[in-house]
Each structure stands twice: as structure tokens, then as C-alpha cells.
Structure 1
Amino acid sequence: MGASVKSHYIPTLDGLRAVSIILVIVSHCVNPKTSHRLVEMGHVGVLMFFALSGFLITTRLLQEYTAAGRISLRNFYVRRIFRILPPSLFYLGVISILAASGLIQCSWRAIRSALFLYTNYAQYGDMGWKIGHFWSLSVEEHFYLFWPALLILFGVRRGQKTAAALAGLVITWRIVDDRYELLARLFHNPNLAFHGNRTDLIADALLWGCCLAFYYHPRMRFSLSPAWSTAIVLSAAALLTALFSWHINHGTILAQALPTVILGGLVAAPNAPIGRLLELPLLRYIGRISYSLYIWQQLFVGQSGLLIPLSLLGLLACALFSYYVIEQPSIRYGRRFLSRSTAAPLPSAGAQQPQPQSRSAHSVPENV
């Protein structure tokens, strides 16, 4: 069996997940005509999820590299497959049955786009409300496809520069494409000119989280006082809220980078009051089930036509079923699969030898 990567629960970040999913659900419960600012906060929640994904995935990869002297793409993708796909495929199966029965409206084009992970490039009219939120899952899956491979290709030592360079390329491309609509012209698809959720236009939101992971690494770990942490987190959150309240384009550099600033302020001061607030048991629990909540929320809120209390009860019931019956068992099976099938890896030529791991109060949680 390969060298193990020590991983411990980070309660603060589960609390941050909780805040993010609450923003998304609230934004889908309100009337967009009368509560536009709250609607915009849903996108803030998604950007926060992106920053968390970039940070946590990269930190996990760095821990593996330190422990084993290499990064196993096979192990990475096995973990991702068992972590991400079973809950989403179960949801798509339920949606397909409901649509075939005429109980909900959802086109097969929308389901196909979610199944093959291109919802964020599909035409808005084809997406359908019940599937529309899969645009963000598509972005994350695309990120999983390219980032670990690029980290290995360019080397862990240059990983931070690689992530920053990629973020810079995304920003440059976003400016150019906004000006000349190059992708829409290339594929003769005008819809692509207005699709701000495309991976190639929004990937910097994840890449800034990747950059932060290198500062979090034990050899480069930085810290802040509780006062500075609180000031940075609250200032960044206020600025991010203002950007969306003032109807500034979602693709601005600040809007994509500020979630990582918030995240950095939290992980750099584990004992700050704002971090302790995020560690309240209820928030931590909501954070742990946030993926299942996100998967199921658009079946019940937004365009469901149900009363909000009834919708939220239905959402909670389905999310809990997904978490305990689908999500957690599949994660455990994935771990058993790796433990049975992974032989002890040999360090690749020129790789660093494994270093002893020090226990930290803030390490990557097992459910990354």
C-alpha cells in the first residue's frame, strides 16, 4: 500500500462551506425581481466553493508528494470518482425518472450536458433549472482533469508559479474573449459569447486557491494575528459583496480572487474569533453535507412552486439520504478500493524522499 497521507478535520473550513451553501440556497429562495442583491450572493457562494476546491485539492496533493515523493494521478482520480460521481449520478437518475414521468420539466439535452460535464458550455435555454447548477460541477471536474497533471508536468517546486501563471492566462483570455468573442466566432455559436460560467473564463477562481495552498504548506506556512485575520476576512467579504451589489461583472479580477483572500485570512489564524464562529457545531454539520445539499437544492427551490418551508424540508430529507446512503458509503468504498489495489509506490527519479509529517491543527480533511 502507498504511503499514507495524514489528513485531519478542519472545522473552520466546514463552517465556510456552510456559509457558502446557505448563500446559494437563500439566493434561490428569494424573488429575483425584489431581492436582486440576495440573488447575486448565490454566485459569491459558488466562488467560495471554487476557492476551497483549489486550496484543498492542492494541499492534499502537496501532502501526498511530501509523504510519498510523488503524486499518483490514479489515486487522485479514484478518490474523485468515488467522492463526486455517485451523488450526482443518483440525482440525475431521479431527475430523469421524474422528467420521463411528466412530473417535472427537464429536457434530455440538459440531462446529457450534466452527465457529460459540459453544462457550463451548453445553451442557457437547454440547461433547465433542475440541471442548471451543474455548471459549477462541470467547472470543478474540468479543473480536476487539468490541474493535477499540470502540477506533475511542471513540477511541485514550480507549482505556485504554474498556478499563478495559469490564473494570469485566464484573466488575459477573459479580457480578450470579452472584447473579440473569439470562442463564439470559432465555433459559430453566439451563446458562447455571453457564457461567463465557462471554465476557461472562471478557472482563476480555483487557481488562486491553488496558489494559497503553497503558502499553507509546512515549509512556507504563514500566520496572522487574530485581529489581522478578522480585518482581512471582513474587509474582503464586504468588498466582494459590494462588487456584486454594484452590478460589476462577475468576471472581474477582484471578484475571482477575493474568496481566496477570505480563505487565506481564516487558515492563517486558526484561533481568530471569526474562525471559532465558523466552528459552531450546526455550521460544521451543514458544511459536511453541503455537497449533497448543493446537488438537490434546485429540485426544491427556485422554480419548484412549493412553499419555502415545505421545499426546505424536502431538500433536507433528500440531502440527508444522499449524504448517508450514497455519498459517505461511496467514499468509504473508494478508500477500501485503494487500500486493496495500491501497491507500495517507488519514488520517481529525482523525487524528494518522504519527509516525516508533523501533526497540525489545520490539515486537509479526509472528505476532500
Structure 2
Amino acid sequence: MSLSTSITRPTSSYLLPLDGIRAIALIMVVLSHFGLGHIIPGGLALNCFFFISGFLITRLLISEHNRTGTINLKNFYIRRFLRLYPALLFMLLISVCFIGAIGCEFHAQEILSSLFYYRNYFVIYLRPIQPLDCTLILDILWSLAVEEHFYIAFPLLFVLLFRHRPAFLCFLTVGVIGILAWRQYLMTTYGPTELTIYTIYHLTETRADAIMYGCLISLLAYGPTGAGFIQRANHSISIGLAFILLAISLFYRDLAFRETFRYSFQGLGFSILVPALLFHPRLEKLRQWFSAPWLLTVAQLSYSLYLFHWVGISIARYLTGSERITVEYLLIAVPIGLTLSVVSYYGIEKRILKLRKHYGSNLKPESAPDATPALQPQPIRS
């Protein structure tokens, strides 16, 4: 596949290097949760997850619009339901059994907030007072809630605005600026307190800009001037600037900056580095590395691993009575997390694949883009 084709003719199949990036991001998140957060930037990896989600959802919607001239919203939401709920229901079953086994008082809102994607609001505004360890097993679902709020709204926005691409780009640009302004307002008004930091970290309206950056870049890369945009992103100055932005986001420790501009700097950095990785002519070997089979296997299991590594951690915390990472802790958390992830994916999720394909899901991976293309802009049909 030539680069110009990759840019102007998005397909519904996977881009293998993006799967590799997603796998690395997952590994970083998991390791940070296992007590290495002071070394491994799990927050950066999560923002990368959000960015890739936005990039891919937009790419898939553009592809469907090019093929059919419209977006089948019913099929889109059915695919999302079939993608998320089988593993989620299995996780909730395991979690409810665990919560009951340790004798915690259980509230219906724990399940409802997990099933209906408002866990991020529940943990801030609605959680009843109780021993903290009782239902932490479900708190990993806050980030899934952020994504799903966006996934519910964005296809509708796409249907309304895709034929008016400048307005669409303007709307998303205003969105990322507005979210930054809202974070700044919260930090200025309430100060860098523990509650303010916790709130900004978890709310959809303060974190969704990472997904919006991915949507913006997908619209630009697969648009009429996509080849020109990719050339600018591939420029050494652009790539250098992206690394500087990411470095500042990691090493500048001012609390006000970290809860406001840090997320924006990371979104801007990914907006350059992800297109460069996918399409830079000199990065073919890197694309091949990110397309390694072991990374693609991790990417396939990424959703299950994300859910169930936290189940393993929660059970290990309870059984060891400590959050310290010890040999005993790891011997409990790692086997439980891995076993449940494998059971979930191969025993439950893979059985749903055929049904997902019935509603338009195309799960055949696409090989990495050719590294020696000619960048010729070709208008995408809208």
C-alpha cells in the first residue's frame, strides 16, 4: 500500500503499527499500576490510548462514509455494545463475587455506574462512604466511561458535520481549546487541592480533548490536503517540537501545569508523532517493529488485560493487606489478571466476533504502510 493511498483512502481494517503503539501503552499503564508509576508514565500512556481511539473511530467513520455515502448509526452502536459488554459483564460478575466474598456492603449504583458508563462521575460525586478497598476493583472503569461518552456523541456529530469539513475541524479545535480553558478555570478557582486534581483527572469534560486531538488528526490526514499535512508532520522540526512538548509534559512538575497544559501538550505531541510513525518514509523499520506479532497479540488482548489486570491487583491488595509490591503480591495479581484476561478474550470475546462482523466490523489487520510512496493529495469523497 502506498502512502498516498493510506492517507486518502482509509479502510475499516486495522493499522498494525497503531496496534503496536496501543500494546506498548497498555504495558506502560499496567506496569504503572503495579507500583512503577514513579518510573513509567502511565498517565501519558492513557492519553495515548485516548488519542488512538479518536484517530481510529474517525478513520473508520470516514471509510464507511466513502463506501456507502452515509453512516449506519444503529450498526455502529451495536458493534460498540458487542465489543465492550461481553468482557465488561464477565468482569462485573467476578467483581461482584469478590465484593460479596470479602463482606463489603454493596450498592446498586456500583453496578449501574459501571454498566451505564458514569463510573468517572460516581467516584467523585456519588460514592457512599465505606471502606475504600471494597469497590476499588471497579474503579478502572472510569476511563472506559470517558471513551464511551465520546463514542456515543461523536458519530452523531460526524453525521451532522462531515460534509462541512471546515466547520467540523473548527468545532473540534474549539473543543480542545475549551477543555483546556475549563481545566484552567477549575484549577484557578479551586486551587491545586487533592480534590481538584482528582476531579480534573477523571471527568469527561476535562479529559476528552485527548480523544478530540485524535479525531482532528484523522480528519486532516484523510482529508483533501492530507498529503500536505503528513509532509508537515514528517518534518524534522515538527518531530523535534513534539518530543519537546512530551518531555515538558513529563518533567515539568508544577501542579497547576500538570492538571491543565500537560494534557494539551501530550495531545499536540501525539498529533505529530503518530502520523509520523504511520507515514514517515524513513520509519519503515520502526513500523515493522511496532507490527511485531507479540505486540499484536497484546493489542488483541488489550481490552481484557486492561480490565482484569486491575481485578488481579485488587484481589492481591486485599489478600496481602498491603499496596506494596512484593513477591507474594505479584504471585497473586499477575496469574489472576492474566488468566481472567485469556478466559475473557478466548472464551467470550472471540465468540462474539462473527456477530460483530455481521454488523459491519472488519477485524482483518492491515499491513504497515509502504515507506516509499509519492505524496499526492487526492480529495476524499464527502
Displacement of 1:169 in angstroms is: 2.1
| Kept in 1: contact 2:243–2:269 (CA 8 A) | no
Does residue 38 of the first structure (1) align with residue 45 of the second (2)?
A: no
Partner of 1:318: 340
Does residue 13 of the first structure (1) align with residue 18 of the second (2)?
A: yes
User: For 1:188-227, what aligned pairs fall within 5 Å after superposition?
Assistant: 194-196=198-200, 197-217=202-222, 219-222=224-227, 223-224=230-231
- TM-score, normalised by the number of residues in structure 2: 0.75
| Kept in 1: contact 2:25–2:49 (CA 8 A) | yes
User: For 1:1-368, what aligned pairs fall within 5 Å after superposition?
Assistant: 6-30=11-35, 37-38=38-39, 41-102=41-102, 108-124=108-124, 128-156=135-163, 157=165, 158-180=167-189, 194-196=198-200, 197-217=202-222, 219-222=224-227, 223-224=230-231, 234-235=243-244, 237-243=246-252, 248-252=257-261, 253-269=264-280, 272=283, 273-301=285-313, 304=316, 305=320, 306-337=328-359, 361-362=368-369
- TM-score, normalised by the number of residues in structure 1: 0.77
Distance 2:281 2:12 in 1: 17
Distance 1:7 1:76 in 2: 12
Distance 1:360 1:36 in 2: 33
| Kept in 1: contact 2:29–2:42 (CA 8 A) | yes
Structure 2 unmatched runs, 5+: 1-9, 321-327, 371-382
Distance 2:21 2:241 in 1: 15
| Kept in 2: contact 1:236–1:262 (CA 8 A) | no
| Kept in 1: contact 2:16–2:367 (CA 8 A) | no
Q: How many residues align?
A: 326
* Local SS of the residue matching 1:292: helix
Displacement of 1:45 in angstroms is: 1.4
Question: What letter is aligned with 1:283?
Answer: L
| Kept in 2: contact 1:173–1:201 (CA 8 A) | yes
Displacement of 1:307 in angstroms is: 2.6
Displacement of 1:361 in angstroms is: 4.7
Displacement of 1:170 in angstroms is: 1.8
**Alpha-carbon spacing, 1:236–1:85, altered in 2? closer, same or farther (3 Å):** farther
**Alpha-carbon spacing, 1:176–1:237, altered in 2? closer, same or farther (3 Å):** closer
| Kept in 2: contact 1:106–1:130 (CA 8 A) | no
**Alpha-carbon spacing, 1:231–1:288, altered in 2? closer, same or farther (3 Å):** farther
Distance 1:327 1:260 in 2: 31
**Alpha-carbon spacing, 1:239–1:278, altered in 2? closer, same or farther (3 Å):** farther
Partner of 1:348: none
Displacement of 1:229 in angstroms is: 8.5
Query: Aligned-pair RMSD on alpha carbons?
Result: 3.2
Displacement of 1:290 in angstroms is: 0.9
Distance 1:211 1:121 in 2: 26
Question: What letter is aligned with 1:277?
Answer: W
Distance 2:60 2:281 in 1: 19
| 1:5-35 deviations in Å (ceiling 9; x for gaps) | 94333221111011111111111111xxxx5
Structure 1 unmatched runs, 5+: 182-189, 340-358, 364-368
| 1:45-99 deviations in Å (ceiling 9; x for gaps) | 1111100000000110111111111122112111111111211121112111221
Distance 1:106 1:307 in 2: 25
**Alpha-carbon spacing, 1:64–1:300, altered in 2? closer, same or farther (3 Å):** same
* Local SS of the residue matching 1:48: helix
**Alpha-carbon spacing, 1:238–1:65, altered in 2? closer, same or farther (3 Å):** same
When structure 1 is superposed on structure 2, of 322-331 and 249-258 the one drifting more is 249-258
When structure 1 is superposed on structure 2, of 21-30 and 119-128 the one drifting more is 119-128
**Alpha-carbon spacing, 1:237–1:180, altered in 2? closer, same or farther (3 Å):** closer
Distance 2:242 2:197 in 1: 34
| Kept in 2: contact 1:160–1:210 (CA 8 A) | no
**Alpha-carbon spacing, 1:283–1:337, altered in 2? closer, same or farther (3 Å):** closer
When structure 1 is superposed on structure 2, of 6-15 and 247-256 the one drifting more is 247-256
Distance 1:270 1:13 in 2: 16
Q: Which has the higher helix share?
A: 2
Distance 1:12 1:233 in 2: 19
| Kept in 2: contact 1:56–1:213 (CA 8 A) | yes
Distance 1:104 1:331 in 2: 36
Displacement of 1:108 in angstroms is: 4.9
Distance 1:308 1:108 in 2: 31
